[in-house]
Amino acid sequence: MNLIMLLDQFFHRKYIDLNTHATDIQMQELIQFISFLTTGIPFYILKSWLPLDTRNNNNAVLACTRPMAPMLLIATSQVTLAYNTRPFSNSFEGVLLSLCLYTYLSYADEANAKSAFFLGALFSIGVFTRITFPLYAFPIGVAFLYQTYKQSFSFSKFTASAFPMILGIISFAVFAIVADSVYYGTLSFTVDGQPFRDAGHVVSTLFDPTTLATVRASGDVVITPLNNLLYNTNVENLALHGLHPHYTHFAINLPLLFGPLAMLGFLYIPNVFAKVRNDNNAHFLYALISIIFSGLIGLSIIPHQEARFLCPLLVPLVLVYTWKQVKLPASFWIVWLLFNVITTYIFGVVHQGGIVPAMGFLQRQTTSIHDCHVLDNGDLTCTVGANNTSDTNGFDVTTNLVFYKTYMPPRHLLVDSLKNKNTHINIFDFSSRLDEVVTKLESSPGVVLRKHQSGKPEIDFAKTNIPNAFERTIFILPSFIPLPKVENHRYLMMASYSPHIGFDDMDKMMEGASEMNSPESQMSLNVMTEWEAVKKPKLDNSSASPSKSQPLPFSRYLSNSFQHSQKHPILSDSKLVVYDLKVDRPDLPDEYEEIAWNRLKAAIHAIQKNEASVESLEVLYQAR
């Protein structure tokens, strides 16, 4: 993966920021390529283990009869539709495993140095893609050595046949180590005492022996798989990502990914052993079954277990279950299709579904900034345009994007032109680390809340200690996650995208849905900007309530949120009122917060049923 990023930097540094690695079009092409691999490679695997007479002499059998069931299973699986259409490392791991299977079949059919070298290179690529790849590829390596031994007449012949595979492993490992080391900046190369200019300079040097002799290297190498292994063998590191029981893969993740195929595939293994006794392709079946058990058992030893880790098992499971089966029962197809339609919608659309739309919104908010000028309060205001170029009138503007309780945001969707010298984007992905979120929000200046012009897409930036430099902080989190309390700071809703569900925090979502009596209010991803509250003198117990003639800024914002809500009142905003009350009046006992919260819920439900107006909620807030 680092190699891909490195090449991308070489070829695109004239067009995009070096902090990003692809454009939308490039990612679409990459996804289409992955989809082709995850369905095309299994087809060639099926072609390889067909009996020789049908493979060469009966194209109808090849195209329609034998491969149809496994091809349909792979094409309709949620693993293909929801996981393999995304650039997960697990998707690449599955592709590489399929390529290894196909290469092994080619070698078993006709042993040659080319196939052996290619298989070794694939092994090496797999290890540098995911450290778990050897768990899947080990049975293929054993099967390769067995085939080599079976086709060799002496130890020297065996060694000579296995050497190309070893050469393939070492060659690509060296290449990947160098690429990773250059990417991470620990290793640098010079030619004639000068650094390489671009990729073209590297290629021309490789084909010029005289210039190649002047190449020098300095620094240290980075062995990514070793670092990955050391990290994942530390249980404390895995605890940051979540620890699971050792039976999670077998009992939960396998059925979750493969549904009826998980159970029937294992139940079919004894039957397929009975059918394979006189089959010339028995060695391939043994390799497939070994891959399934090797991957499952090996991954189950690791205490951190996610369902996507089992994605590479799709092709082996399908091939085992369809072995010697021309047709599958209609009942199986009904259950299979129903299962995959539901799970594809859940994991391909709903699960973390607000991330990509939110990134599109943030891209427009950060790369199309125009007409900037300083306000009387010292903040900077700008307008958001329709194109992807910015003109800030010479002001330096920075947008801090703080992600909390979401998956890793796809940074390439915030691609920006290098021509936009005065606009900067900082992405802070805090995962589930609340303390770091609070620290970041506390250190970030908030803008002063004001009324914007109607119909004009304005954005504000807070002044900083650096002359002519302004910044703002945008906070992105699911609607069912309580907003962190930061003194003298509030949050203004900018946008909300649904459906969005995070299954890692289902307990919080269900609790919020029950509390709000509105499940849909908990199924969105909220984008908020941070603003600084107007500091007010602390009121003692004898002080009167704030004057209604001087409405508080947050009250005005709350009314505005209700008026502009498209589907329903933004119920999560009501929690902000209680939070606002608690911050402004820390002298109040804790039971007042519960009383205020209950009254707010009653008012919100009345507004939903058109039994009360927004003003009633504002009056309730003013009378706090």
Domain boundary among 319, 335, 350: 350
Residues 111 and 245 both lie in one domain: yes
pLDDT digits (tens, 9 = 90+) for 566-619: 333 333 344 444 444 444 444 555 555 566 656 666 666 666 565 555 555 554
Q: Does residue 198 form part of some domain?
A: no
Domain boundary among 284, 318, 350: 350
User: Which range is least confidently modeled, 88-97, 99-108, 609-618?
Assistant: 609-618
What mean pLDDT comes out for the span 328-341? 94
Q: Does residue 42 form part of some domain?
A: yes
Residues 345 and 411 both lie in one domain: no
What mean pLDDT comes out for the span 530-548? 46
Can you give the residue range of the structural domain that contains 43? 16-153+224-350
Q: Does residue 123 form part of some domain?
A: yes
Q: Does residue 186 form part of some domain?
A: no
Higher pLDDT, residue 374 or 488: 374
Q: Does residue 611 form part of some domain?
A: yes
pLDDT digits (tens, 9 = 90+) for 155-191: 888 888 889 999 999 999 999 999 889 888 888 888 8
* Residues 267, 273, 274, 280, Cα dihedral to 10°: 140
- The pTM is what? 0.71
- Residue 613 is predicted with a pLDDT of 52
Residues 432 and 496 both lie in one domain: yes
Q: If DSSP codes are grouped into helix, strand and coil, which group holds residue 220?
A: coil
Cβ-contact 604, 592 below 8 angstroms? no
Residue 560: how many other CB atoms lie within 10 Å? 15
State yes or no: pLDDT of 337 exceeds 90.
Answer: yes
State yes or no: pLDDT of 364 exceeds 70.
Answer: yes
Residues 331 and 431 both lie in one domain: no
Domain boundary among 535, 570, 585: 535
pLDDT digits (tens, 9 = 90+) for 384-407: 877 767 788 888 888 899 999 888
State yes or no: pLDDT of 561 exceeds 90.
Answer: no
- Give the single-character DSSP code of 529: E
Name, of 466-470, 561-565, 589-593, the range with top average pLDDT: 466-470
- Residue 594 is predicted with a pLDDT of 60
| pLDDT tier for residue 40 given thresholds of 50, 70 and 90 | low
Residues contacting residue 51 through CB under 8 Å, at least 6 positions apart: 280
Token look-up 């084909």 returns 207
pLDDT digits (tens, 9 = 90+) for 411-429: 888 877 667 778 888 899 8
- Residue 417 is predicted with a pLDDT of 67
Residues 254 and 395 both lie in one domain: no
Amino acid type, 141? G
- Residue 498 is predicted with a pLDDT of 84
Give which of 75, 82, 88, 31 is closest to 347, Cα–Cα.
82
CA distances in angstroms from 234 to 102, 237, 304, listed in the order given: 35, 5, 11
Residues 343 and 357 both lie in one domain: no
- Residue 256 is predicted with a pLDDT of 94
Residues 302 and 371 both lie in one domain: no
* Mean model confidence pLDDT for the chain: 76
Residues contacting residue 451 through CB under 8 Å, at least 6 positions apart: 556
Q: Does residue 146 form part of some domain?
A: yes
Q: Does residue 513 form part of some domain?
A: yes
Report the number of distinct structural domains present in the chain.
Answer: 3
Q: E strand or H helix at 282, and its extent?
A: helix 282-301
Q: Does residue 203 form part of some domain?
A: no
> How many Å apart are CA 612 and CA 529, to the nearest integer?
29
Higher pLDDT, residue 425 or 562: 425
- Residue 550 is predicted with a pLDDT of 35
pLDDT digits (tens, 9 = 90+) for 146-165: 989 888 877 888 888 889 99
Residues 507 and 406 both lie in one domain: yes
> How many Å apart are CA 127 and CA 125, to the nearest integer?
6
- Give the single-character DSSP code of 280: T
What mean pLDDT comes out for the span 426-452? 84
- Residue 401 is predicted with a pLDDT of 92
State yes or no: pLDDT of 318 exceeds 60.
Answer: yes
What is the percent of the chain where pLDDT is above 90?
23
Residues 139 and 255 both lie in one domain: yes
Residues 272 and 137 both lie in one domain: yes
